[in-house]
Amino acid sequence: ALAYSTALPRPLRAANAAPLAPMLLLSVVLASLVRTRAGAYPHWLSAVAPIVDATAVTAIILCYGLLGSPSVALKAPITLVYFAILAARPIMGSARSTGITAACITAEYLAVLLILVQVAHVTLWSDPITAAASANVAILDEGMKLVLLAAAGVVATYVSAWHERVLRRALAAQIVRNTEQRDLSIRLQEADKLAALGTLAACVAHEVNSPLTAIALSAEMLGRGLTELATQPRQVDVDRSFAPAVRL
C-alpha cells in the first residue's frame, strides 16, 4: 500500500488506509497485550483474528472495485492473501475456527462479486478470452476462485483436525508418562522408607542381641557348672549317719 500510494488517486489511498490502519493498531495492541500478560493470548482472539484479516482484505477489494476499476479489483493478486490466511490456520487455531474462517472467506468473496455485479455493473462473461480482452471478468475464473477457496478451506480444516488429534495424543501420552513417573517416585520413596525401617530394625536387633548373647552364655556356663556338681559322688559320713542307730 505504501509503495503504490504515490501512484494511486486519493480515494484509493483512503481505501488502503481505512482497513490497514485499524489492522496496524490491532497488531500493536495484541503485541503489547501478549508482553504484559507474560505471553498469554486470549482464546477468542485466535478465532476472531483471521476473520478480521479476511474482512480487511475483502474491504480493500470492495473499495477498489467501487472507487476504481471493478475488473482490476477482482483480478488483483490480493486474493492470494485469503489462501495465506487459510494456510496459517492449522498452526494457529482449531479445526472449528478454521472451518468458520474458510466459510467466512468464501462467503465474503462471493458477496464482493455479487455487489460489484449489481452496483458497479460488472459483466460476467462465459468466454475467458473475451473477458480478458475487455474490462469485465470471466464467470469461469471467478467460479474457480470460489471453488479453490472452498477447497483450501476444507483442506485447512482437515489439517487442523489432524493437528488437534496429534496434540491430544501427545498430551495424553505426556499425562500417562507423568503419572507413571509420579507413581514410580512414590514407590521409590516407600522403598526408601522400608529400607530405613529395615536398617533401624537391624540396629535395634543387634543392640538387643548383644546383651542377650552374653546372658545366654552366662546361663549356659552356670548350667554346666550345676550339672557337674550334680554328677559328682557325695561323701557320706557313715559314723555320723548311723550314730543314732548304734546308740539305739
**Average of per-residue pLDDT across 12-28:** 82
Task: Give the span between the Cα atoms of 197 and 183, in whole angstroms.
Answer: 21
**Average of per-residue pLDDT across 241-246:** 45
Q: Residue 240 CA to chain centroid, in angstroms? A: 111
Residues 136-169: pLDDT tens digits? 677 888 888 899 999 999 999 999 888 888 888 8
Which pTM was predicted? Answer: 0.65
What integer pLDDT is reported at residue 171 of this predicted model?
A: 87
**Average of per-residue pLDDT across 186-193:** 84
93: pLDDT strictly greater than 80: no
C-alpha torsion 37→41→44→49, nearest 10: 120
Number of other CB atoms surrounding residue 110 within 10 Å: 15
**Closest among 80, 132, 57 to 123, alpha carbons compared:** 132
